[in-house]
Structure 1
Amino acid sequence: MESLKLGSLEVWPPVVLAPMAGITNAPFRTLCREQGGGLFVCEMITTRALVERNPKTFKMIRFEPEESPRSIQLYGIDPETVGRAVRMIAEEDLADHVDLNFGCPVPKVTRKGGGSALPYKRNLFRAILREAVRNAGTLPVTVKMRKGIDDDHLTYLDAGRIAVEEGVSAIALHGRTAIQHYGGTADWEAIARLKESVTEIPVLGNGDIWSAADARRMMDETGCDGVVVGRGCLGRPWLFADLAAMCEGGDERSRPLLGEVAATMDRHATLMAECFESERHAVVDFRKHVGWYLKGFTVGAELRRRLATAESLAGLREGLAELDVTQPWPDGVDTPRGKTNPRDRVHLPAGWLDDPYDLAVPSADAENDTSGG
């Protein structure tokens, strides 16, 4: 297995932590990075918020001193604004790598023509990539995308070819359409088809990687050059230790006792309090992680409730102290985590599907709902 080459960057193992809103902040990246190497991407931020120097956005792209390479994912719909944002990152040394988001399926993004809706507009997609690469200097620019809007409007092969032509360093494909959201099963055959079509740059696979064995199988079946892991590591940062072992040819698997899980939960919340500079904000934000960390373990409903409603580190630690620290890692938890329901339709701007080559930039307020992240 070879390292992942993104321009001048060399990443080993060829594993990427997918940017996830409200998840992949500096504390969570720290926990994952300590388990194994790879590329750990911060939460998605908007190009508009960055060029406007939104204070919230600059807090979101905070990196720890030891983080290397530093990776930022941008969401943008206007080529000029995307170019300005990338130039800021390059000139002000804000990161070492820029990823462009064309995969987000949430309605507040797609209804404005962004995320997974945008590659349908081939010329606009090309213009955004061109401005990003032109302004990046020596920084590698990569793309994360989905198969398309739905099965009748697939875009990934066209988008892959455009990305190569515009000088993108790598492409990551989530094997789902926008309408699938996170439901159903990821189409790994689409990843294989993209890899067959795009031979000049690395192709990364994303979707339904719940274990190191899944990652190995994806790489074997598709020929992809690396994997992007999202929901599979929720409440399970040690998945990156398993992935590192897999890439080295081993089959070791982390199976922490509940006591070790509890210690990680404590540390995660503590790091968040230090990062957010507000203990209550951090502990309330940490609540969503509780169910993911405890998945499969035998924990009483009342204790789960108290852990998931804690308002202070002391309260959280009181609940963690009541867990059975000797309880072994449960079987059967290498399964989907997070929301999995598909959507009945994709919210798009009026007339979006009329002309796939229309170069017009979507509404000027397209980033308003997501400004600041």
Structure 2
Amino acid sequence: MSTTLSPTAAPALKIGPIEIASPVALAPMAGITNEAFRRLCQEYGAGLYITEMVTTRALVEKNPTALRLIRHHPEEQIRSIQLYGVDPKIVGDSVAMLVDEDKVDHLDLNFGCPVPKVTKRGGGSALPWKRDLFEAICTEAVRRAGDVPVTVKIRKGINEELETYLESARIAEGAGIAGITLHARTLEQQYSGKADWASIARLKEAITSIPILGNGDVFEGEDGVRMVRETGCDGIVVGRGVLGRPWLFADLEAAFAGRPERAQPGLREVGAAMIRHAELLVDFFEDEFYGCRDFRKHAANYFKGYPVGGDVRRAFALIESLDQLRELVSQLPDEPWPGSSAMGPRGRAGSPRRAALPQGWLASRTMSTADTDDIAGAELDISGG
């Protein structure tokens, strides 16, 4: 059993007019944080559950995939959507559409994506390097959002020598942004190495008028409390730590409340969560085969640390129906929680890599004609999100 932690000074998170009972948010993850996964996590604990990243151009063009990604179930208490865009006008148009059609309660702008196909055209975590473009997007999004709060997610910068986060945060604050999430890694780090929590503390010291959320290396309830204590941040954002482990939100809620209990599911309980996840995916896709096929990629994460053989894992990765999944779960041995082997880092951390950027991108902190030509296609390769 984990050590009891006393409550922190941040039992709730407030973003504009929105108050969340627990200072925890789910990080948008492509192909993961759809309506089904958000509902599953919400069943375990309170938090701010944000959609996976959706491109603003796809929304304006009424792309069916994008429209599905922003859909929220009536059970979802706060309709939170993350947008990715590179053109201030298109970003503004997409924001206005969501607000006018009453589809959103909170908007988050993604400036943290490190994927090369995004950054090589100046998007994602490469974009804050251009101060004027970053400011224009933030300003237009806030203007068109009206009373709906807009937050941003950023990284530390391109690399350790080319940090932008403090300047970007001041620009965002001046533009009326309602909160800032810092993934405490650089673009070039990707998801490798250790998150620099000290940078979250520096950001919190620099920006005091709006909430600061920390992101990076929160894998246990104790990690979340420790991040708040060490950095002074107002809340935390969890990503990879929740893969195959939606009960992490229960652990975080208990840890922040100072309660000792932690989720320690046996293999049969894990199997029940897998069935629930698949059922929600079938409901989301409105197609049993497609929902089950989408679930396949989650199975290995649920089994992390548990004594499950390769043949069983492969069988779960080939399911085609809910009945087939239920039958496989019924055959799982009644194994208890395996302890530390089921905890800690999850997902692929990868390795640091040189930033993929448009030619000459770093020559100036402001946009040029050549930069504008490069960034024009930054959304075109990203289907819906």
- TM-score category (smaller protein): over 0.9
**C-alpha deviations, 1:325-349, integer Å up to 9, x for none?**
3432432332211110123211111
TM-score normalised over the length of structure 1 = 0.97
Q: 4+ residue runs of structure 1 moved beyond 4 angstroms?
A: none
What is residue 259 of structure 2 aligned with on the other side? Answer: 250
What is residue 133 of structure 2 aligned with on the other side? Answer: 124
Is 2:57 the counterpart of 1:45? no
Q: Is the 8 A contact 2:265 2:336 kept in 1?
A: no
Deviation at 1:284, TM superposition (A): 1.7
What is residue 184 of structure 1 aligned with on the other side? Answer: 193
Return the alpha-carbon distance in structure 2 between the equivalents of residues 25 and 264 of structure 1.
16
Equivalent residue for 2:120, pick from 104, 111, 118: 111
**C-alpha deviations, 1:277-298, integer Å up to 9, x for none?**
2222212211111111010000
Q: Is the 8 A contact 1:297 1:330 kept in 2?
A: no
Is 2:99 the counterpart of 1:90? yes
Is 2:366 the counterpart of 1:354? no
What is residue 327 of structure 2 aligned with on the other side? Answer: 318
Return the alpha-carbon distance in structure 1 between the equivalents of residues 98 and 176 of structure 2.
18
Return the alpha-carbon distance in structure 1 between the equivalents of residues 242 and 377 of structure 2.
33
Q: Is the 8 A contact 1:279 1:312 kept in 2?
A: yes
Unaligned runs of 5+ in 1: none
What is residue 18 of structure 2 aligned with on the other side? Answer: 9
Return the alpha-carbon distance in structure 2 between the equivalents of residues 99 and 338 of structure 1.
23
% identical equivalent positions: 55
Please give the root-mean-square deviation of Cα atoms over the aligned residues, in Å: 1.2
What is residue 367 of structure 1 aligned with on the other side? Answer: 379
Task: Kindly provide the amino acid, as one letter, of the partner of residue 194 in structure 2.
Answer: T
Is 2:150 the counterpart of 1:141? yes
Q: Partner of 1:317: helix, strand, or coil?
A: helix
**C-alpha deviations, 1:167-218, integer Å up to 9, x for none?**
1000000010111111100000010111111111110000000001001111
Q: Is the 8 A contact 1:181 1:341 kept in 2?
A: yes
Return the alpha-carbon distance in structure 1 between the equivalents of residues 242 and 337 of structure 2.
19
Return the alpha-carbon distance in structure 1 between the equivalents of residues 260 and 339 of structure 2.
18
Q: Is the 8 A contact 1:48 1:371 kept in 2?
A: no
Return the alpha-carbon distance in structure 2 between the equivalents of residues 309 and 347 of structure 1.
35
Deviation at 1:38, TM superposition (A): 1.3
Q: Is the 8 A contact 1:113 1:349 kept in 2?
A: yes
**C-alpha deviations, 1:21-64, integer Å up to 9, x for none?**
11111111111111111100011100000111111111111111
What is residue 297 of structure 1 aligned with on the other side? Answer: 306
Between Structure 1 and Structure 2, how many residues are aligned? 373
Equivalent residue for 1:58, pick from 36, 44, 67: 67
Deviation at 1:318, TM superposition (A): 2.3
Q: Partner of 1:179: helix, strand, or coil?
A: coil
What is residue 35 of structure 1 aligned with on the other side? Answer: 44
Task: Kindly provide the amino acid, as one letter, of the partner of residue 109 in structure 1.
Answer: V
What is residue 274 of structure 2 aligned with on the other side? Answer: 265
Q: Is the 8 A contact 2:190 2:353 kept in 1?
A: no
